[in-house]
Chains A and B, each alone.
Chain A
Amino acid sequence: QKEVEQNSGPLSVPEGAIASLNCTYSDRGSQSFFWYRQYSGKSPELIMFIYSNGDKEDGRFTAQLNKASQYVSLLIRDSQPSDSATYLCAVNSYQLTFGKGTKLSVIP
C-alpha cells in the first residue's frame, strides 16, 4: 500500500522565520510530488509541485526532492501569520496519495 507520511504538528514558528515541512513516501515509482495548503474550512490549494531531484523555488516557497531517500520537503521563508494552515503532501504514482498534513502556526 502506498503511504505518504508527514508529521502532524502543530509546527510553530515565529513570524519571519523559515518553516520546514517534511514528507516521506513509500512508492519508489512515484513521479510527481505536490504541496497543498489548506486553510481551516477550505479546500486544498496547490502551491508547489516538483518532479525532478533538487530544489524548486517559487517566491517564498522552495520544494526539495530527494528520490533516493524518498523524501520531499517544503521550505517557507519569511513566514507570515497568513501562512498558518495545514500543508498536505501529495505523491503521484498512478493516483494522487495524500499525507495527513502538517499544521503550521506562524506566531506574530
Chain B
Amino acid sequence: SAVISQKPSRDICQRGTSLTIQCQVDSQVTMMFWYRQQPGQSLTLIATANQGSEATYESGFVIDKFPISRPNLTFSTLTVSNMSPEDSSIYLCSVEGGPNEASEQYFGPGTRLTVT
C-alpha cells in the first residue's frame, strides 16, 4: 500500500486563524480524501480531491471553510479557515487503491488540531 505522510502532525491554533494541512503520497493516486475525526467519534468525510478538478464536498462542509488543493497526483492540502474550538479534531487524508479490487482506502497518520 502507499506510504502517506501528513504535516503538521499536531498544532494548537487560536480561534479566527487558519491552518493548512499537507498530505504527501509516495506514489501517484487518482483519488484522495479528507476526513475529520472528532474526539470519541468515527470518521466523517469532508471532501474528495481529484487532480485537475474541483474538490467534491460532503453535506455540511463548504469550500470557504475547508479549501482544498490537489496540484498533482501525489499531493493535496486542506485548509481549515477561520477556526473555532469546534474545529478541534483529527484531520486525516486517505488514498484509494491497492493490489485488490475492493477500493480500499489507506490513511495517513493524521493531524491533531486543537483550537483555543
Contacts and interface: CB of A to CB of B under 8 A. Distances in A.
Contacts of A51: 101-102
Given A43-B92, A100-B41, A100-B42, A92 B106 contact: no
Nearest to B93: A43
Interface residues of A, number: 19
B109 A49 contact: no
Given A98-B43, A99-B42, A101-B42, A92 B102 contact: yes
Contacts of A90: 105
Contacts, number: 46
A46 B42 contact: no
Contacts of A100: 41-42
A44 B41 contact: no
A99 B33 CA distance: 17
B53 interface: no
Given A43-B107, A96-B105, A49 B100 contact: yes
Interface residues of B, number: 22
A38 B109 CA distance: 11
* Interface class of chain B by DSSP: loop
A60 interface: no
B103 A32 contact: yes
A95 interface: yes
A106 interface: no
A72 interface: no
Interface of A: 32, 34, 42-46, 49-51, 88, 90, 92, 95-96, 98-101
29 contacts: A32-B102, A32-B103, A34-B102, A34-B105, A42-B109, A43-B90, A43-B92, A43-B107, A43-B108, A44-B43, A44-B92, A44-B107, A45-B107, A46-B104, A49-B100, A49-B102, A50-B102, A88-B43, A90-B105, A92-B102, A92-B103, A95-B45, A95-B48, A95-B58, A96-B33, A96-B105, A98-B42, A98-B43, A101-B42
